Amino acid sequence: MPALRLILLWHQHQPFYKDLVTSEYRLPWVRLHALKDYYGMVKLLDEFPNVHQNFNLVPSLITQIQDYVAGTAHDPFLRVAAKPATDLTLQERQFALQYLFQANPVNLIGRYPRYRELWERFGEHGNSAERAEKYFHPEHFTDLQVLSQIAWFDEFFLEDKEIAALIKKERNYSLEDQRFVIAREKELLGKVLPAYADAAKKGSVEISATPFYHPILPLICDTNAGAASSPGLPLPQNRFRHPEDAREQLTRALDLHQQVFGVRPKGVWPSEGSVSEEALAIAHSLSVEWMATDEGVLGRSTGLFFARDGNGRLPAHLAERLYNIHRYENGGSAMHMVFRDHTLSDLIGFVYSGMPPGEAAQHLLRNIQEAAQPVLAQGRDAVVSVILDGENAWEYYPKSGREFLRRFYDALQRAPGLEAVTVSEAIARHRNFGSLTSLVPGSWINANFNVWIGAPEDNRAWDYLYQAREFYAQNAARASEAQRKLAFEELLIAEGSDWNWWYGPEHHSANDRDFDELYRTHLSNVYQALGAAPPDALSQPITGGEVRPAFVPQTAYIHPRITGDKIRYFEWMGAASFSSNQRAGAMHGKQFLLDSVYAGIDATFVYGRLDFAGSVPDADFELVVNLESWASGEARPRRALRLRARVQERKLTEWKVEGPVEETVSAAARKAEETAEVALLRNFEFRLPLAWLLALPGQGAGNAGSGDGKAGASPVAASSKLRLRFSLWQNRLPMDALPVEGWIELELLSEWDFDAGL
């Protein structure tokens, strides 16, 4: 019988945050993700011995973990978290407020009531550390210092009795509690790398490598590769071409893995799945046996486009190409090649976090089996490769996605005819390899390198790197060995892909400035190490441009007509708005269908509007708007409703409002004096009576009585705010939502309160 083999590869990576000259860490993400994700991801497999997996650990991550475990890491974020609150300087208090709330607001901050309470206090002052600092007292800071660390602890670490007792305490933490948490961090970080070594020794995982500082190998070999994959792409003024650096990055990676894990890696997930024939030749010469990349590279190299039907399935002839292991041979170079299923990988990264874990696990298993079926039906073995980020996705899942993973791994163990294997196991058992004699250069993102080169910011960064590399070549011989070593190390760090990830139009984070300054610091250190002053250009930011504000609160009553025919700007003036930030975050590949949403109230209705990212989607979908009314101090909403609207062939075909079963309100049953309206043409709009939510305005700061200002508020008028969340579903999967986390909140104020600016 033909076999279905599943390759699961989790890529675990962090940039090199350390300034080698000052030894300071510019950002804390190595420490925090090492506490939260890396240990548990591999430890979980102890429960599923038949589920073999692949982990890709980037050397720049490994060395930084080692630095923390050795106690030699100088982390200002850790110092501020560890310092007694009464001893914090003004600058340190503002630093704490700026950085210790950088966590997922729902699954990390929201998991701990006191942490959320402090986060909301910070938000009340515009998320400004300077403005909020005076409202935070030492007891607030101590609680923040403790909880901002515990929030990142792995689920396995939270089972520790002492940590569990601290969590149960909830607030009013002592200096002893604070010291305990900080001391425990180092101990827990020390468990990470040994856990991977043990799993590899048992054979349950295969550990693969990535070039040391995560460079895009094809571009390090030759920046002209950018135009080879995207003809006409604007290139830097100077052609960077250093294949010897690419070889050095890969050689160092293989050596470090052998040193840390006791085994030299057989395989490589090249940074961002970036491959070229030159990069493959270098890997072959270093005895690398397999490399992995994305289906898009296979498609461009073979002249195919892996187009799926409405259920996400490939036709038989394409499935046979993708669900195979290929053998690349060209001249003297040879390499086994694995190509990831982009669709299945993105389901884990962006979709399943919005579903019940059991349902998501079954959906994934079913999709894997159905995807491979055309190949199995031909009597051939199928190899399905799912490859994705092994850390960032879990922030969007409750409890780091452990229930989803447990249910999925359990289903894998029970599925007949399906093996979860390492890449080397898959190669050893496979027959009928696909053949490749050429390869189009590309990455896992659109089978090109446009994220890292081509935009003005990207190209400026490459030109600065070129100039620093040339300066090194011309001056290194006159420097001491220690100077040469430091300068070259800084060059290799600056060759990493992470800096250009944040340059250009594609991505944005709260730490853009930090990444920009750190990149320019690494380049400046090259000159300083060789006894020269850095060029003036490196003192100026590379990054530029402002990101539109994500949330704007309601400032006035609105009374828009509900037509679905955008955009009547003045009718929505004063509404609250929430805009998608399509550049946000470290993860790439999310499908953005929603651009922005608007919401507001008047004395009688709540109004909502959704603008699509582009036109109304062609494929059928369902829009869901969740609405809740809340009263101050209550732990549960007073009333929760769900507006569901079905769209077929880009037309609204059905809508209904659901609440408690006995109180469901449909379009047919609505009262004449409480007319609800829903419309869709170029955008989606609705209005619903506030009474349906047991909410009427009038509970604001300037009018704390009933809706008519009299004493003795009725239950209908007792709510103080509304919360709304919009989501779009296709094939019963949540494809996009605004806000992605949390809700839009509307204060139930009277018109007088809005006019008074209260």
347-356 confidence digits (pLDDT tens): 998 889 989 9
Helices (H) and strands (E) in the chain — how many of each? Answer: 27, 23
Average pLDDT, the chain: 89
Tokens of 551: 């949330």
| Residue where the block lists tokens 């498609």 | 299
φ, ψ at 290 (rounded to 5°): -145, 150
So what's the pLDDT on residue 569?
A: 59
669-689 confidence digits (pLDDT tens): 444 345 889 999 888 999 999
CB-based burial label for 219 (10 Å; 0-12, 13-18, 19+):
buried
Phi-psi region of 8 (alpha: psi -120 to 50; beta: other; left: phi over 0): beta
The rounded distance, in Å, linking the Cα atoms of 250 and 217 is 9
So what's the pLDDT on residue 567?
A: 59
Architecture of the CATH domain 456-539:
Up-down Bundle (1.20)
So what's the pLDDT on residue 127?
A: 86
239-270 confidence digits (pLDDT tens): 999 999 999 999 999 999 999 999 999 999 99
What is the average pLDDT across 186-210?
Answer: 96
720-758 confidence digits (pLDDT tens): 889 999 988 887 767 788 887 778 889 888 877 766 555
The 3-state DSSP class for residue 426 equals helix
So what's the pLDDT on residue 603?
A: 86
* Domain segments of the chain as ranges: 4-16+208-226+235-436, 456-539, 551-756
596-651 confidence digits (pLDDT tens): 888 999 888 999 999 888 888 888 999 999 999 988 777 788 889 999 999 999 89
CATH 3.20.110.20 matches 4-16+208-226+235-436? yes
* 113 contacts: CB under 8 Å, gap ≥ 6: 170
716: pLDDT strictly greater than 50: no
What is the average pLDDT across 481-496?
Answer: 97
665: pLDDT strictly greater than 50: no
> Is residue 462 within 8 Å of residue 240, measured between CB atoms?
yes
Q: Do domains 4-16+208-226+235-436 and 456-539 have the same CATH topology?
A: no
With cut-offs at 50, 70 and 90, classify the pLDDT of residue 708: very low
| Residue where the block lists tokens 């996400």 | 312
With cut-offs at 50, 70 and 90, classify the pLDDT of residue 704: very low
Distances (CA, A) of 347 to 39, 406, 451, 465: 23, 17, 22, 36
216-231 confidence digits (pLDDT tens): 999 999 999 999 999 9
664: pLDDT strictly greater than 80: no
394: pLDDT strictly greater than 90: yes
Count of C-beta atoms within a 10 Å radius of residue 601: 25
The rounded distance, in Å, linking the Cα atoms of 628 and 745 is 9
The rounded distance, in Å, linking the Cα atoms of 157 and 680 is 49
CATH 1.10.3470 matches 551-756? no
> Is residue 582 within 8 Å of residue 589, measured between CB atoms?
no
Alpha helices in 434-511 (DSSP H): 456-475, 481-494, 498-502
CB-based burial label for 76 (10 Å; 0-12, 13-18, 19+):
middle
667: pLDDT strictly greater than 70: no
